[in-house]
Each structure stands twice: as C-alpha cells, then as structure tokens.
C-alpha cells in the first residue's frame, strides 16, 4: 500500500508538472477567449442598438419631411388653383368688357349709318317737297337739324 501511495504521489506530481499546468493554461485561455467573445458581443449589441435608434430617428425624420413636402404640395396646388381661377375670371371679365366695347362701337356705327340713311331720305323727301334742287350743304344742314331733335342715345338704351 505504501508503494501504491508513493506511486500515486509521484503520479500526481508528474501530472501536476506536465498535465495540470498545460490543461489549466488551456482552460484559462479558453475562459479569456469566452470573456472576450462576451465583451465583443455586448459591444456589438450596443452598437446595433445605437444603429437601430439612429435608423428609427432617420425614419421619423423622413416621415416628417414627407409630410412637410405633401403639405407644401397641397399649398402650392391650392395657390395654383386660385391663380388659375383668378386668371380665368379676369380673362372672362376682359372678354365681356371687349364684347361690350364692340357692341358699343357697332351700335355707334349702326346709328351713324342710320343717320346717313335718314339724311339721304330727308334730302330726297325735301327735294320732292320743294321741287327744286337743294345744295348738298343745305341738305346736310337740314338733316343735322332734324337729327339733333332725335335722341339717339335714348334709342340705343331702348335697344339694350
């Protein structure tokens, strides 16, 4: 039994010197490697969380900018719509005014033509009544006197 005990002690010393030391070093290295891996994983997780927060903030900013762009587009659309409507109203008013001016010109022209025809008829009638030739100046004077008694503005107003 003593020999067994001595062999056992010698075996322990040999194992301690040649086996336990390298095994312990290997275990220590493995423990350090695992600790480093855990530390790196924690750092990676923190970085991922930071990036996720930045990503979420970027998405929120992008949504906010998109809403602002849409709001500006609506405002521009409304402004453009109002401008187009105002321009159309102005154009329509201009066309109405132009039409009124043209109607007034045509009315004056028609009244002038009517005056000329009345003058010719009056000259013809006066010539027949007096049975003598009247000069052109006399005819025009007589027509002007007759026409001055007629209110053509009142006739034009009645035509409207």
Residue 155 lies in a domain: yes
Position 141 scores a pLDDT of 78
Count of domains observed in the chain: 1
Residue 25 lies in a domain: no
Q: How confident is the model at residue 45 (pLDDT cuts 50, 70, 90)?
A: very high
8 Å CB contact between 152 and 111: yes
Position 150 scores a pLDDT of 66
DSSP state of 132: S
DSSP state of 1: -
Q: Residue 152 is part of which domain span?
A: 32-159
Residue 14 lies in a domain: no
| Mean pLDDT of all residues in 58-76 | 94
Residue 4 lies in a domain: no
Place of tokens 């003598």: 132
Residue 88 lies in a domain: yes
Position 17 scores a pLDDT of 80
- pLDDT tens-digit series, residues 102-123: 999 999 898 888 888 877 777 7
Residue 10 lies in a domain: no
Residue 11 lies in a domain: no
Residue 26 lies in a domain: no
8 Å CB contact between 100 and 156: no
Backbone angles phi, psi at 97, to 5 degrees: -65, -45
């Amino acid at each position: 039994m003593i020999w067994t005990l001595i062999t056992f002690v010698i075996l322990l010393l040999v194992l301690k010197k040649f086996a336990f030391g390298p095994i312990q070093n290997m275990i220590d290295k493995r423990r350090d490697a695992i600790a480093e891996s855990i530390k790196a994983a924690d750092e990676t997780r923190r970085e991922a969380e930071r990036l996720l927060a930045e990503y979420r903030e970027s998405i929120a900013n992008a949504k906010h900018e998109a809403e602002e762009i849409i709001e500006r587009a609506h405002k521009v659309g409304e402004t453009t719509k109002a401008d187009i409507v105002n321009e159309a109203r102005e154009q329509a008013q201009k066309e109405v005014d132009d039409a009124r001016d043209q109607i007034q010109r045509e009315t004056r022209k028609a009244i002038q033509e009517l005056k000329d025809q009345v003058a010719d008829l009056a000259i013809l009638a006066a010539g027949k009544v007096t049975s003598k030739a009247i000069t052109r100046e006399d005819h025009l004077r007589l027509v002007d006197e007759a026409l001055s008694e007629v209110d053509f503005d009142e006739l034009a107003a009645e035509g409207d």
